[in-house]
A and B are shown apart, each in its own frame.
Chain A
Amino acid sequence: MNALPLILTVFVACAVEAIEALTIVLAAGITREWKSTFQGMAVALVVLAVITAAVGPAITYLPLTALRLVIGALLLIFGLQWLRKAVLRATGYKALHDEASAYLREVTAAETAAKESRRGVSDWYAFTLAFKGVLLEGLEVVFIVITFGANQKNIGAAVIGAAAAIVVVTVTGIAVRAPLTKVPENWMKFAVGIMLTSFGTFWGAEGAGVAWPGNDAALLVLVPVVGLVAAGYVFWLNSRKAAPSSPARESEAVPS
């Protein structure tokens, strides 16, 4: 497969995660203290680097068939999770992810928390907030980079996509000094869900022994088909919601 679709897919997926991490880091840095926030970020990045260094090379030693089966399954399950949330958000069954309100929530919590110095860190709250935010969102980035890169035997291209996303989001965040609320994050998540589901289906089935008609070209059909099916589910849920006797009307709040 050409490296460009791989780089673009990883770029969009990682940009979404980077935007969420940026929101948390900004909330910690602006309302608390930048030094402890940067310390938290730095420690999280070191932990992520260790995980990548440990898991990345180990996974490439697996036979390609086993790798595709396991990673395809994980990617497909992960992708369907994203797609499920994206469809629920698109149909109003789940609140849209809003960086502005996420930022306000973090800021309110950060303003009321007591300042406590611990283990050489002057503001433990800012440290842990930044650490957790960067680590949790970063783990998704690592997962996407390793799964896509290992399957295509091109970890370098996946790393380029992820690094570009992180740089673009960070530079933009520094420039505007606010959460990136204008980014169509929910639609990006919808697109990423489609890509993860398509690649997961393709690799998982290949790992199970299937020979796709057209080999890699099957992905060119699979991606739009997954997109159409997801759009079909949006249409189905919207029309069910519009029906007066529908029981779905009472279930606006779906747990995340």
Chain B
Amino acid sequence: MNRIKAFGAFWYDFVVGDDWHVAALIVAGLALTAILVHAAGVNAWWLLPLVAFAALGWSLHRATARK
């Protein structure tokens, strides 16, 4: 059980890293982009870069404002 936990923890740390909020925002950004493109017919190429920059900024703010 411990080995499975360690294996899962390794992959979580490898992919998601220090701030899971970034990963969650990127997944949400991709989902929203897909919805805009396929359901609303909007070529939302600008959305993912904006989400990525906002996620990075928010994560940096959280990391540096933490005591």
A108 at the interface (CB under 8 A from B): no
A62 at the interface (CB under 8 A from B): no
Residue of B14, B17, B43 touching A139 (CB-CB under 8 A): B14
**A254 CB to closest chain B CB, in angstroms?**
5
Q: Which of A205-236 contact B (CB under 8 A)?
A: 205, 207-213, 218, 222, 225-226, 229-230, 233, 236
Query: In the complex the two chains form, is A84's CB within 8 Å of B22's CB?
Result: yes
1/0 contact string of B11-38 vs chain A (CB within 8 Å): 0001111110011001100100110011
**B12 CB to closest chain A CB, in angstroms?**
11
* Chain A residue total in the interface (Cβ 8 A): 47
CA distance A247 to B59 in the complex (A): 16
Q: A73-B27, A210-B33, A210-B45 are in contact. Are A84 and B19 (CB under 8 A)?
A: yes
Query: In the complex the two chains form, is A247's CB within 8 Å of B65's CB?
Result: yes
Residue of A205, A240, A247 touching B48 (CB-CB under 8 A): A205
Q: A76-B26, A237-B60, A251-B65 are in contact. Are A81 and B52 (CB under 8 A)?
A: no
Interfacial chain B residues near A254, Cβ < 8 Å: 63-64, 66
List 21 A–B pairs whose Cβ atoms lie within 8 Å, in order of A's numbering. Answer: A73-B27, A76-B48, A76-B52, A77-B23, A77-B26, A80-B56, A80-B59, A84-B17, A84-B59, A87-B56, A87-B60, A143-B14, A208-B37, A209-B33, A210-B37, A225-B49, A230-B56, A233-B57, A250-B67, A251-B65, A255-B18
Q: A209-B34, A210-B37 are in contact. Are A80 and B64 (CB under 8 A)?
A: no
Interfacial chain A residues near B67, Cβ < 8 Å: 247, 250-251
CA distance A248 to B66 in the complex (A): 7
Query: In the complex the two chains form, is B22's CB within 8 Å of A77's CB?
Result: yes
Residue of B38, B43, B49 touching A222 (CB-CB under 8 A): B49
CA distance A59 to B47 in the complex (A): 27
A74 at the interface (CB under 8 A from B): yes
1/0 contact string of A176-214 vs chain B (CB within 8 Å): 000000000000000000000100010011011111110
Main SS class of interface, A: helix
Closest residue of B by beta carbon distance from A88: B63
**A131 CB to closest chain B CB, in angstroms?**
14
Query: In the complex the two chains form, is A251's CB within 8 Å of B22's CB?
Result: no
Q: Which of A87, A91, A218 has the most CB of B within 10 A?
A: A87
Residue of A80, A213, A233 touching B45 (CB-CB under 8 A): A213
A69 at the interface (CB under 8 A from B): yes
Residue of B15, B18, B66 touching A84 (CB-CB under 8 A): B18
Interfacial chain A residues near B63, Cβ < 8 Å: 84, 88, 93, 251, 254
**B27 CB to closest chain A CB, in angstroms?**
7
Closest residue of A by beta carbon distance from B52: A201
